[in-house]
Structure 1
């Protein structure tokens, strides 16, 4: 019992820094897995923060656009060690993934045509389709409830699916339409738009060992709301966006690739309600169909690479930036790698800058309430729409892997039975048997390699 009576000693900034770097290197498994890792390490083992304070921060992050796990790390880092603590926690959650993706993207463009690399990617693509299907199941099961109890939300999801998959409606319009319907729906069908919690790191308990930042720990001075502090943060945030954008525009013009990447991914960062899978259709519409930074097959391969690296899945935007910078030769034909790496870095900067501002500016407001935040009706409707949007992404991926490249059948094409069967097996493993992401990706890569040995590809 003695271990339950004493709170941990205050944590130094350097000690926290080591943990945030470790977290950035081991944060596999998507947002649910990443939040579970943080809960186990920070709440249960290290006891740096109590369960109640952890879930309080998580509920706020779930309300925001952007990667909630990265924002949660930023929030806790800020609560522990002021602004620089939040910046360090959020940045180290992303940097290992950025470095890995720049390296993997270079390997892809330089050696993607090597047979064994192509075979591994062939095996991973069906797994990616299954992972997106799992996202539909996970988000849908939490948001849509049963059709009889939430017919309006099901209608929102179905309409969003048709809007994106059939009518090619831009993703921002789908989000705005869903938000408007949610605002109206809270008056007409309040029971259907009551919302719920998102990913859970764990359940609150009535008795627990004391934590450094415990349930009753007073809000530290730096985390108290001050209008002057909020104003300074907003000014700094605008400058951190405006100055790099001004440099890019002055250097290559507004229509230059790097400036357009910065503007496009700023908009994408504000639309990621529901996680990375929700914004991928928007990224696909812009990066593939509008700007031509990469093609559909390369987008699929990028998701495969993104699933194999730690960090938030939205980091796939770094791969998109790398391939776009390489294809557009942003620094000229003699500096392809440097130009592509610069593009990946710029894309990452503009994608994650809003997340830091949301936490550093909104954190003091959240700490001042200590109430239980819940999803508002517009956000509930947006999440329902996200289910339909992600379902359209599943359809796209399945259609992409269903045709066997280079093979012909009775009607000019041949169905790729192996790829579809592998996608079905991975979906079963993920949804029914709760197998982790890393094992299924590794098994799928092995299956692709074996398929090449027997001459299937």
Structure 2
């Protein structure tokens, strides 16, 4: 499967490079991995690469990071699995950590307030775009459509915990699509066992969270989240803004924006938030918490991949989870839009960003930099 001689130096070099130049989110990361691993270095075939994409989409966590971890395993064994993941995460983490330190010191300055206020409408537009793009893959049939609408009601109206909504949606679709096969009883099927006990983990709400609180929250999220950075937003909003009030909606949007404009995994947003909550220890704890489960899931996937590929029950459950996640994104997009698009400037930035994004396919990073520039120029103009 791979050369028995360790290729750890080679693996480290490749993933350090991809982490530092990997702007654009999971889709861009996958394209870069294909170009570097399949086309240039020919570590695996195109068919193997596509197979890995499908497999990593079956487990919780950031899919492009898990793809990198799995490729490291195929190239250099278990140490390759660890080295690939660490090298893909750490450079991006360091960049976001540095930005968090700067943000914490300058966020009260009028110029920085204006910059981040101008960025927020773009984040709202990007969230709406993600919701729109995901609709086809999330809502595949009547069962997933019902699950998606139900998730909107449970999350938006009844304000249920996001994880509980995803579990209800997942098992609802599993039962709905396979009810005829239930006459002989429920099948033995692998599901992420961490989801059930971890639902009960809620840190005590205090005015100043500790690094242990931060680790607890992000470990729970990392072990249960399906989808990309915008699903992360659907998890963080109820947990850190609505329930604990440890962050404001503005700080959360700023954190998501930082994740967008920096290279590497979008989930390094956790590093930024961890620093705001509990300083340097919080940054480390949040990063470990959100990424550590991915290493475990990929390790398990190397053993369970054949079974998961052929499990109709698991795929039905995953369809329901994806539909539920889509419903959560709908609710978060609506709430963010209501709280952000409150004046002519925010509305204008949102409209222009939408046109540039949908009509001319401008990358998100340029929209964020452009809106930040507009905010800075507008603030400086007030001085003259």
- TM-score tier after normalising by the smaller chain length: 0.7 to 0.9
Matches of 1:112 and 1:189, distance apart in 2: 57
Gaps of 5+ in 2: 182-207
Offset of 1:316 from its aligned partner? 1.2
Aligned with residue 26 of structure 1, among 14, 21, 24:
21
More helix by share: 2
Aligned with residue 76 of structure 2, among 77, 81, 86:
81
Aligned with residue 143 of structure 1, among 124, 129, 138:
138
Matches of 2:55 and 2:286, distance apart in 1: 25
Gaps of 5+ in 1: 1-7, 191-254, 326-339, 404-415
Residue 283 of structure 2 aligns with which residue?
344
Aligned with residue 231 of structure 2, among 278, 288, 309:
278
**Aligned partners of 1:293 and 1:323 also within 8 Å:** no
Q: Deviations over 1:49-88 (max 9, x none)?
A: 1111111111110001100000000000011001111111
2:99 is the counterpart of 1:160: no
Residue 12 of structure 2 aligns with which residue?
17
Residue 422 of structure 1 aligns with which residue?
349
Aligned with residue 373 of structure 2, among 425, 432, 446:
446
2:242 is the counterpart of 1:292: no
Matches of 1:67 and 1:134, distance apart in 2: 19
Matches of 2:280 and 2:308, distance apart in 1: 42
**Aligned partners of 2:237 and 2:252 also within 8 Å:** yes
**Aligned partners of 1:398 and 1:420 also within 8 Å:** no
Residue 38 of structure 2 aligns with which residue?
43
Matches of 2:351 and 2:36, distance apart in 1: 34
Offset of 1:427 from its aligned partner? 2.6
Q: For residues 8-407 of structure 1, what are the structure 2 equivalents within 5 Å?
A: 12-145=7-140, 150-187=141-178, 257-325=210-278, 340-366=279-305, 376-403=315-342
Number of residue pairs the alignment of both structures matches: 360
Matches of 1:151 and 1:419, distance apart in 2: 37
**Aligned partners of 2:11 and 2:83 also within 8 Å:** no
Residue 435 of structure 1 aligns with which residue?
362
**Aligned partners of 2:233 and 2:256 also within 8 Å:** no
Offset of 1:370 from its aligned partner? 11
Q: Deviations over 1:125-172 (max 9, x none)?
A: 111111111110121122225xxxx33322322221222222211101
Matches of 2:266 and 2:284, distance apart in 1: 16
**Aligned partners of 2:152 and 2:331 also within 8 Å:** yes
Q: Deviations over 1:319-338 (max 9, x none)?
A: 2211111xxxxxxxxxxxxx
Offset of 1:447 from its aligned partner? 2.1
Matches of 2:351 and 2:167, distance apart in 1: 34
**Aligned partners of 1:133 and 1:427 also within 8 Å:** no
Matches of 1:369 and 1:158, distance apart in 2: 30
Matches of 1:439 and 1:55, distance apart in 2: 29
Q: CA RMSD in A?
A: 3.0
Matches of 2:355 and 2:309, distance apart in 1: 39
Matches of 2:48 and 2:276, distance apart in 1: 41
Q: 1:372 to 1:452 in 2, by over 3 A?
A: farther
Q: Structure 1-normalised TM-score?
A: 0.73
Offset of 1:180 from its aligned partner? 1.3
> Which consecutive aligned stretches of 4+ in structure 1 deviate over 3 angstroms post-superposition?
368-375, 453-456
Matches of 1:122 and 1:67, distance apart in 2: 28
Rg (Cα) greater in structure: 1
Offset of 1:99 from its aligned partner? 1.0
**Aligned partners of 2:22 and 2:264 also within 8 Å:** yes
| Paired residue secondary structure (1:310) | coil
**Aligned partners of 2:8 and 2:79 also within 8 Å:** no
**Aligned partners of 1:56 and 1:373 also within 8 Å:** no
